Amino acid sequence: MKKTLAWAATLATVAACTLGAALPAVAADATTPAAVTSAVSATAFDTSRLSPEAKALADQILAKLPADWQQHRDAAIAKYGIHDTQWAGIRDSVIDPGDYQCQATALRDYQQGLLTGADPGLLFLLSLLGAPDMPTYDALFFGSESKSDTFGANGEYTNQLTSEGKDLKRFWDIDSADIQIVPMHGGDLFSSPERLARVISLMYGIPETNKDTALFLAHLIGHLINLDPVLQGGNNPIFTFNAFAFTEKHSPNPVGVSDRIVVGDGILQGMSALGLGDTAPRAILAHEFGHQVQFADGLTASRLTGPEATRRVELMADAYGTYFLTHSRGEALNAKRLLDSEKSFYMVGDCGFSSPGHHGTPNQRFAASAWAASVADNAANQGHILPSLAFDALFEAKLPDLVKPDAAN
């Protein structure tokens, strides 16, 4: 299990289905569970390391928190299936590189620059408080699809992703009417004490009868975020560098959250910074919708275990996504151009080759996409869309070839 003492480890953003088991509430793209360790307690945190202004805020927050707030924080992560995704796993390796084995990638280089110059003491405090999780909680539990939604820090992906979402729902043969595609924004949340208060209530177990406490904490945490200009009032991409799919299908204890796909501003900014802004956002959304197809068709479980189980689910989602993107009745993208772009996209890095959350090596992910593109391109009837279960049957037969060892793994 990854340590969770550093900033991004508590960015334990949703996802659990890819562990290969039927979980109560599952989201896709999970790596290892990131339950925040209780070894670091509020009483152990030395606020004297902070600037005078930050120390004053921290002392007020720690004095106001419920006695059992850390237990509630940890329990909420476990209860709601909030785990770190492939993106957060890479993010963890940036924050605390001594804990991870990972080759250097352009994505890691980009992420290393996001917190350059930030106050490490303040980052540690915010991590302890679970502040990096808060945009995820907000989007997951309180977000909803709306005509007023925007995608991207400046709304630059709104038209593209909104249109693609509609196309995905028309393309696949599952009941997708209730699937919502929800944006995740950091600055909007941290600038709204009312919104932040309801997230804090959920995370810390503050009852409805004590709303004033949650609102007070929200104001203080908002001030903390604004103390360091590197954090950009919560608009730093590190807060929202994520995308995931979520469902409560078959959950014994549903909490009333609709099926959804959440796309953070940070992941879109990162892909743009790497020169992948044209294709990667579409590939991310198509991949996450592939998980919704899996949820609907009951395809997440298998006889495989550990990394092999997760890899199967993720490679299948890659295949579903690419089939849609290259199909004449999907996005109809040029297969060669798409695959060239996806080759770069997959090289951003998956460090956990032996992790239960391993998504597949770059070569394996590319192979899954190339195979899916060939299924679309070589079809005798270009206008025919394979039923999702028929596509899965083809994928299952092809999977042993897709995961064969190769020198680049």
Task: Give per-residue pLDDT as tens, 150-174.
Answer: 999 999 999 999 999 999 999 999 9
The residues, any chain, with a CB within 8 Å of residue 221's CB and separated by 6 or more, are 61, 126, 129, 131, 134, 190, 196, 200
Q: Would you say residue 353 has pLDDT above 70?
A: no
The pLDDT score that the predictor gives to residue 305 is 82
- Whole-number Å distance between alpha carbons of 231 and 153: 14
> Which of the four pLDDT bands, split at 50, 70 and 90, describes residue 284?
very high
User: Do 96 and 3 meet the contact criterion of CB atoms below 8 Å apart?
Assistant: yes
The residues, any chain, with a CB within 8 Å of residue 127's CB and separated by 6 or more, are 5, 6, 7, 8, 9, 10
Residue 236 lies in a domain: yes
- Bridge partners of residue 246, in order along the sequence: 27, 260
| Of 42 and 4, more confident | 42
Specify the range with the lowest mean pLDDT, choosing from 9-13, 206-210, 319-323, 375-379: 9-13
The pLDDT score that the predictor gives to residue 87 is 66
Residue 2 lies in a domain: no
CA angle (14, 120, 62) in 5-degree steps = 70
Half-sphere CA count of 89, side-chain side, radius 13 A: 28
Residue 255 lies in a domain: yes
Q: Would you say residue 139 has pLDDT above 80?
A: yes
Question: What's the token pair of residue 127?
Answer: 């991590």
> Which of the four pLDDT bands, split at 50, 70 and 90, describes residue 93?
low
- Whole-number Å distance between alpha carbons of 85 and 18: 10
- Whole-number Å distance between alpha carbons of 322 and 168: 12
- Whole-number Å distance between alpha carbons of 47 and 54: 8
pLDDT in tens, 187-219: 999 999 999 999 999 999 999 899 999 999 999
Domain count of the fold of the chain: 1
Cα distances from 309 to residues 16, 21, 293, 384, in angstroms, run 12, 9, 17, 30
- Strands 260-264 and 180-184 come out as parallel
User: Do 108 and 349 meet the contact criterion of CB atoms below 8 Å apart?
Assistant: yes
The pLDDT score that the predictor gives to residue 186 is 96
For the chain, count helices (H), then strands (E): 16, 4
Residue 409 lies in a domain: no
The residues, any chain, with a CB within 8 Å of residue 405's CB and separated by 6 or more, are none
Residue 165 lies in a domain: yes
DSSP state of 85: B
Residue 374 lies in a domain: yes
Q: Percentage of the chain with pLDDT > 90?
A: 60
pLDDT in tens, 285-338: 999 999 999 999 999 999 988 878 888 999 999 999 999 999 999 999 999 999
- Smallest CA-to-CA distance from 2 within 312, 354, 345, 247 is with 354
CA angle (30, 180, 152) in 5-degree steps = 75
User: Do 167 and 179 meet the contact criterion of CB atoms below 8 Å apart?
Assistant: no
- Strands 26-28 and 260-264 come out as unpaired
- Smallest CA-to-CA distance from 65 within 139, 140, 131 is with 131
Query: If you search the block for the tokens 């090596």, which residue do you land on?
Result: 361
DSSP state of 36: P
The pLDDT score that the predictor gives to residue 109 is 80
User: Do 182 and 260 meet the contact criterion of CB atoms below 8 Å apart?
Assistant: yes
- Whole-number Å distance between alpha carbons of 271 and 59: 38
Residue 407 lies in a domain: no
The pLDDT score that the predictor gives to residue 154 is 95
The pLDDT score that the predictor gives to residue 349 is 54
Residue 101 lies in a domain: yes
- Whole-number Å distance between alpha carbons of 164 and 178: 16
Q: Is 263 helix (H, G, I), strand (E, B) or coil?
A: strand
Q: Would you say residue 2 has pLDDT above 80?
A: no
The pLDDT score that the predictor gives to residue 307 is 79
User: Do 13 and 244 meet the contact criterion of CB atoms below 8 Å apart?
Assistant: yes
Q: Percentage of the chain with pLDDT > 70?
A: 79
Cα distances from 80 to residues 12, 21, 72, 298, 354, in angstroms, run 11, 15, 12, 20, 25
Range of the domain at 162: 7-402
Average pLDDT, the chain: 83
- Whole-number Å distance between alpha carbons of 351 and 332: 32
> Which of the four pLDDT bands, split at 50, 70 and 90, describes residue 82?
low
